Homo-oligomer: A and B are copies of this chain.
Amino acid sequence: MVNKKCIIRLLRYKNALHRLNSLGFVKVFSDNLADAVGVTASQVRKDFSLFGICGNKRGGYQIEALLGKLNHILGKNEQQKVVIVGGGNIGAALMKYKGFEKEGVKIAACFDIDPAKYNHKEGDIPVLPLEQLRDFVRQNHIKIGVIAVPDIAAQQVLDLMLAAGIKGVLNFAPIRLRAASDCVINNVNLVLELETVIYFIINGLEKSIAEIHEEQKS
């Protein structure tokens, strides 16, 4: 029963393990990972056992071996190429973001209706006219796209991406895009995330904080 929340936990374990590894640690216990990710230790063991990963009760898990297994499960041993449509604020922030490379994600190109604004390049990433999206995606066998355009353009960009062969979309436009039958869409709305925090502050914390924690743990 692998659902989205389980995958997100696995990705979080992996990120925590990377951090521990780079600090020189060799072993980790389910309690350490539980603390780092904000779940219970039994949840950690349950998630791992779902994928056949067993720890040694006294010695915990070997970090390197555990990372290898998680990377295998998460398919992170090969680099994933991604295209962005929209070179505005969020698109530019993603292009400059250093964190993708070490997670095996490569931003292959950005597409914009006005690539000249970016001098046709942002850092090492080419910024190309939107008309070239289809050919580029097909030639490079790209399956993942990021939508970072205003809400009114988002549906049209999604249609272009699907026609080009994109199968998974991370959407930052503040509108909920619906998936076609063979496509996964992950909608992230930054204003909504901020509004959620504001709501809990305005309406008094005491009542809500247990619930928001409960949510985070589930």
Q: Which positions in A face B, CB cutoff 8 Å?
A: 2-5, 7-8, 11-12, 15, 19, 36-38, 74-76, 80, 82, 89-90, 92-94, 96-97, 99-100, 103, 105, 143-144, 146, 151, 167-170, 174-176, 178-179, 181-184, 186-188, 190-203, 205, 208-209, 211-216
Contact = CB atoms under 8 A, between A and B. Distances in A.
Given A5-B215, A89-B93, A192-B12, A186 B178 contact: no
Contacts of A74: 195, 199, 202
Nearest to A194: B170
Closest 5 CB pairs of A and B: A75-B202, A89-B93, A168-B201, A168-B197, A93-B93
A13 B94 CA distance: 28
B196 A11 contact: yes
A7 B184 contact: no
Contact of A38 (B7, B38, B174, B176): B176
